[in-house]
Chain A
C-alpha cells in the first residue's frame, strides 16, 4: 500500500513536468504571443517591447522555461491580470468553495444513487426499477445549466425556500479562518453562519450532483444485478445466513467495487470546477473564476489553475486506488 502511494506520488513529477511544458508552449503559441494577448486593443509596438523586457520574453525560450519552472517550484504561479493578486492566492480562496460544493453534490448523488440502483436491481422490472431508469436518463440528458435554472426559479425565486445566489447571505457577518464556510461556522460556533452557508449549497449541489447521481444509480443497478446472481451469493444462501448479512456483506459490498471506480472519476471531474453551475448561482468557486479568466485572456490564471487542478485530480485518483485496496483484498496483494 505504502509502495503504491510512493510510486504514484513519484509519477506526479513527470506528469507535472509534461504539463508545464504544454502550458508554457501553449501561451507562446497564442496568436501574437502573450504580449498581444495581454495588451489586446491597447497594443502598440512600444508597449509590447516594454512588457517583453519586463517579463523577460526577449530571452531564449529555454531560459524562459527554466525561469518559469523555477518560479513554479517556489509556488509562484504569477499574478492574475484581472485582480492583480497572486494566482496561488486566488486559487486557495476559491478552492474551498468548490470542495464544499463537490461534497454536497456527492452526498446527494451517492445518498440517492446507490439505494435507488440497489432497489432497482433487486426488484428488476418493478415500478421502482423503471422509475430509476427514467430518473437516470433525465439526469444524464438534461443540461446542467437548464436544471440549475429550473431549480433556482422554482425553489429560490417562486417558493423562496433557498437563496438564489452566492455562498452566504449579504447580511451575514462571519469570520472565515479556513474559507470552508460551513466548517468556519462550526469552528467559530457561529451556528447561524454555518446554516446559512449550508443552505446556499443545496441548490447548486443538487444541480451539480444530478449527472453523478444518474451514473451512480445505473452503475449500482448493473453491479447488483450481476452480483446477486453470482455463485457465491447462492452458496452464501445455502449456508442459511441472515438476509441482512447476505445483502450487506455479500451483495452490496461486492457490487460496490465498480461503483467506487465510477465515483472516483466523478469526484475528479467535480473538483475541476463546475463552470455552469457556479455561474448560474454566482457561486465563487474555481470554475466560475477560470471561465472569467478565459474571457479576459488572464493566462497566468489559466496556466496556474490547470496545473493545480491536475495535481488535485491525480491525488483524488490516488485516494480512490487506495480505497479499492481497502475493499478488495485481491488488489491489496497486487499493489
Chain B
C-alpha cells in the first residue's frame, strides 16, 4: 500500500542489521465468549543472519506469534496491540495486498508437518513454480529450471525428475526438503521455520536441520525457529525466547537461558527435556530394597503377585513374560503392471527378544524399521510368517476364540495419537468403561467403581469423566488411553509411540505416571518408539531395529554408553541437545 523507497531511512534509529522487531505485540482471537488473547505484549528482535528460537509447549502462543508476523493468522485472529517492524514497515498494520507481496519474497515459511503442507494433487515442482511466477521472480518459461535448482540446493537427489512427481511419491524427509526449497525460493530476509523437523525421524531430522542451517547461513537469512524442543533450540539458535501461555517469560543468548534459567517455567522445561542428561525417572528408581538388586534377579509374582501360578514357580530362573524367537513377518506387495507378480517385503526378519516380568523393554528404530510390526505380532494383530512368540509359556495366536479373548485381557495397547485413538462421541467415562463392558466385568455399579479407581490411578478428576475428548488436552487424553488400557488389569502394556505426540513437560508427566503404575501394579511394558531420549528415561533393556533386523540389544546403559553398531551411534548422535548436556 505505501511505497517505501528507502526502507533504511524509515527504520531510522534502528541498527541496520535488525530484520524484525516485534514491539509490545498482542494477538487476539474472536471467540463466542469474546476476545481471547493468544499472545500478550511480546517483544523480540531478530538480526540479519541470526537464528532466534521461540520455545514453548503447544498453546503457548509461539506459532501464533510467528503467524502474526507472516500475516497468516486464522480469520478470527488479529494483531490487537503493538507493532511488527519489518524493514521499516509495520506488518501488523499493512494492507493484505502488501502482506501478500511480502510473503514469498521478503518473508518465507517452512511449515511444521510435511505430510499436510503440500497440496496432494499438484506436482511438487508446480507448487514451487507458482510462487516464483506470481512473485515476478521468474517467467512462466524459466520457472521450472529455477525450481530444479532450488530442489537441488536442498539436497533432493534427481531433482529434475522429482519436480514432476506428486507429494505422495515423496518420503517425509523429501517433502520437508521441498518445503524448505519453497520457503527459501524468494530468498527471503526472514524465514519462519515452524517445528520444521518434529514430524520426522531423528536421523532424518539432523540432515534436514543441517541443510536448513547451512543454507540460511550461506544466504544470510534470519530465521525465526519455532520449537518445543529445548535441545534443538540450544543447538541451533543464537537467541532463545521462552513462551508460556501467551507471555514471553524469558529471553536471551541460548547458552545463558539454558544454563541459568531464571523463570520457573524455563526450569521446568529444562527438567523435562528428554535430553541425554536425564536418567531414568526417579520414581522408578525409588523402589525400596529390591531396587538395589538387579531387576533380573527379582522373582516374578513375589513383588507383584498378579498371577496365582507365578507364586508357585521356583524363584530361581524366572521365565520371561514374553519370548519372541526368530520371528519373521513377510508381507506381499502387489505389483504395478497388469501381469507383474507380487513382491515380498520382509518387515521383521528373524527377531528374538525376551520381555522379563515387571520390566520395561524398548524397541527403537526409524519408521520402516519393523518395530511396529513386531509390536503388532506380540499384540496378536499380525501373525508371524515364521518363528514363535510365547506369552507366559503359551504360544500367542494358538487356541480358539476363547483363548484369544483371554489374551486380549492380559495384553493391552496404548497408541500414539491421543487425538485419533479416542472416539470423539464417547465421554471419558464411557471410553474407559468400554473394555469392561466388552469383557463382561461386573454390573453397572462395579464398573463405575472400577472406572473411578482407574481415573484416580492416572490422576484424572471425577469431573473429567463426564467430558469428551475434544475438551481434553493431549496429555489428559493419553491418561484416558492409559486408564482404558489398564481397565482389565493387563500384565503387558504395549506402548506404541505413546508419548511421541506430547509436549516435553507433559511427556515427562506421562512417563512418570507409567513408571509409577508399573511399580504399583507390577506391569510389564513394551515401548515402541523412535525417541531414544524417552528410552533412556523409562526402559531397562533396549532393542535397536533397522530394516526389519535386530542390530543391537542390551541394557539401556550398555547400549547408550557404548553402542556397538554404527547405526545405533547415528541414532544417538541425532538426538538434539547433546550440546545441552555438555553445557550443563
What is the interface of chain A, defined by CB distance below 8 A to chain B?
2-3, 6, 229-243, 245, 249-250, 253-254, 257, 327-330, 333
* A231 B116 Cβ-Cβ under 8 A: yes
- Closest chain-A Cβ to B256's Cβ sits at a distance in Å of 32
Is B54 close to A, CB under 8 A?
A: no
CA distance in complex: A299, B130 (Å): 60
Which residues does chain B contribute within 8 Å of A328, judged by CB atoms?
Answer: 120-121
- Closest chain-B Cβ to A138's Cβ sits at a distance in Å of 29
What is the interface of chain B, defined by CB distance below 8 A to chain A?
70, 72, 74, 100-105, 107-109, 111-113, 116-122, 127, 130-131, 134-135, 166, 168-169, 179, 182-183, 185-186, 337-338
* B100 A240 Cβ-Cβ under 8 A: yes
- Closest chain-A Cβ to B233's Cβ sits at a distance in Å of 22
* B130 A241 Cβ-Cβ under 8 A: yes
Question: Could you say which of A232, A233, A242 has the most chain B C-beta atoms within 10 Å of its C-beta?
Answer: A232
* B119 A242 Cβ-Cβ under 8 A: no
Question: Could you say which of A238, A241, A242, A333 has the most chain B C-beta atoms within 10 Å of its C-beta?
Answer: A238
* B102 A240 Cβ-Cβ under 8 A: yes
Q: Which 8 A-B pairs have the closest CB atoms?
A: A240-B104, A239-B131, A238-B109, A240-B103, A231-B116, A329-B166, A241-B134, A239-B104
CA distance in complex: A254, B183 (Å): 22
CA distance in complex: A329, B116 (Å): 16
- Closest chain-A Cβ to B183's Cβ sits at a distance in Å of 8
* B119 A250 Cβ-Cβ under 8 A: yes
* B121 A239 Cβ-Cβ under 8 A: no
* B338 A234 Cβ-Cβ under 8 A: no
CA distance in complex: A250, B130 (Å): 11
* B70 A238 Cβ-Cβ under 8 A: yes
CA distance in complex: A296, B520 (Å): 79
- B100, B104, B117, B130: the one contacting A249 at CB < 8 Å is B130
Say yes or no: A330-B109 contact (C-beta < 8 A), given A240-B186, A245-B134.
no
Chain B residue with the shortest CB-CB distance to A235: B117
* B119 A254 Cβ-Cβ under 8 A: yes
CA distance in complex: A43, B168 (Å): 68
Which residues does chain A contribute within 8 Å of B119, judged by CB atoms?
Answer: 232-233, 236, 249-250, 254
- Closest chain-B Cβ to A228's Cβ sits at a distance in Å of 9
Say yes or no: A235-B338 contact (C-beta < 8 A), given A241-B134, A254-B120, A333-B168.
no
- 27 of the cross-chain contacts (CB-CB < 8 Å) are A2-B338, A231-B111, A231-B117, A234-B72, A234-B111, A234-B117, A235-B118, A238-B107, A238-B183, A239-B103, A239-B104, A239-B131, A239-B185, A240-B100, A240-B102, A240-B131, A240-B134, A240-B135, A240-B186, A243-B100, A250-B119, A253-B122, A328-B120, A328-B121, A329-B121, A329-B168, A330-B168
Which residues does chain B contribute within 8 Å of A327, judged by CB atoms?
Answer: 121
Which residues does chain B contribute within 8 Å of A235, judged by CB atoms?
Answer: 109, 111, 117-118, 179, 182
CA distance in complex: A40, B379 (Å): 66
Which residues does chain B contribute within 8 Å of A234, judged by CB atoms?
Answer: 72, 111, 117
Extra contacts, 10 of them, besides A239-B127, A240-B103 (Cβ < 8 A), are A232-B117, A232-B119, A235-B117, A235-B118, A238-B107, A238-B109, A239-B104, A239-B134, A240-B134, A329-B121
